[in-house]
Amino acid sequence: MAPGFSSRAFAAAYPEREIHSIGMFPAGSGADVMVRYFSNKLSELVGKPVIVENKAGAFGNIATSYVARSAPDGYTIYIAPGSSVLAAAPSLFRTLNYDPINDFEHITTLFKVSFIQIVDAKSPFKTVDDLTKFLKEKGDKASYGSVANTGLVASELYKKSAGLNTVEVKYKEVQGMLVDLLSNNIAFAHIDPTSVLGQLQDGSVRALSTSSVQRIKALPNVPGSAEAGIKDMDLVAWWSVHVPKGTPKEIVNQLEVWFNQIAVMDDVGKWLVNIGCDPYPGNSKLVHELLVKDTKAWAEYVKLANIPPLG
CA distance 282 to 109: 5
User: Into how many domains does the chain fold?
Assistant: 2
CATH number of the domain within which 190 lies: 3.40.190.10
Three-class SS of residue 305? helix
Report, as an integer, the average pLDDT of 252-280: 96
Would 199 be classed as within a structural domain? yes
Indicate whether 5 pLDDT > 80: no
**Predicted local distance difference test score (pLDDT) of residue 309:** 87
Residues 48 and 127 in one domain: no
24 Rama class: left (phi>0) / alpha (psi -120 to 50) / beta: alpha
CB 180 within 8 A of CB 145: yes
Residues 145 and 205 in one domain: yes
Of 20-24, 83-87, 194-198, 238-242, the least confident: 194-198
> How many other C-beta atoms are found inside a 10 Å radius of the C-beta of residue 42?
23
Helix axis angle, 128-138 relative to 149-162, nearest 10°?
Answer: 80
Would 167 be classed as within a structural domain? yes
Indicate whether 127 pLDDT > 80: yes
Q: What is the pTM of this model?
A: 0.89
Residues 187 and 99 in one domain: no
CATH number of the domain within which 91 lies: 3.40.190.150
CA distance 158 to 233: 7
Residues 19 and 99 in one domain: yes
CA distance 173 to 235: 21
Q: ∠ at Cα 152 (150, 153), nearest 5°? A: 65
> Which one of 210, 245, 269 terminates a domain?
210
Residues 123 and 97 in one domain: no
Cα torsion 89, 231, 118, 80 to 10°: value is -20
CB 19 within 8 A of CB 75: yes
Residues 120 and 109 in one domain: no
Report, in this order, helix, strand and coil percent for the chain, each rounded to 5: 40, 20, 35
**Predicted local distance difference test score (pLDDT) of residue 8:** 59
CB 271 within 8 A of CB 37: yes
Residues 134 and 61 in one domain: no
Report, as an integer, the average pLDDT of 266-274: 95
Report, as an integer, the average pLDDT of 47-62: 95
CA distance 63 to 80: 10
Would 66 be classed as within a structural domain? yes
Beta strand 205-210 pairing with 116-120: antiparallel
Indicate the average pLDDT of the chain.
94
- The residue segments making up the domain with residue 78 are 7-113+237-305
Residues 244 and 203 in one domain: no
**Predicted local distance difference test score (pLDDT) of residue 1:** 52
Beta strand 143-146 pairing with 188-191: parallel
**Predicted local distance difference test score (pLDDT) of residue 11:** 60
Residues 197 and 142 in one domain: yes
Indicate whether 3 pLDDT > 60: no
Report, as an integer, the average pLDDT of 147-168: 96
Return the CA Rg of the chain.
Answer: 20
Closest CA to 37 of 278, 271, 264, 284: 271
Report, as an integer, the average pLDDT of 13-34: 92
Would 230 be classed as within a structural domain? no
Report, as an integer, the average pLDDT of 184-201: 94
Residues 248 and 108 in one domain: yes
| DSSP type of residue 262 | H
pLDDT band at 31, cuts 50/70/90?
A: confident
Residues 109 and 120 in one domain: no
Report, as an integer, the average pLDDT of 89-94: 94
pLDDT band at 4, cuts 50/70/90?
A: very low
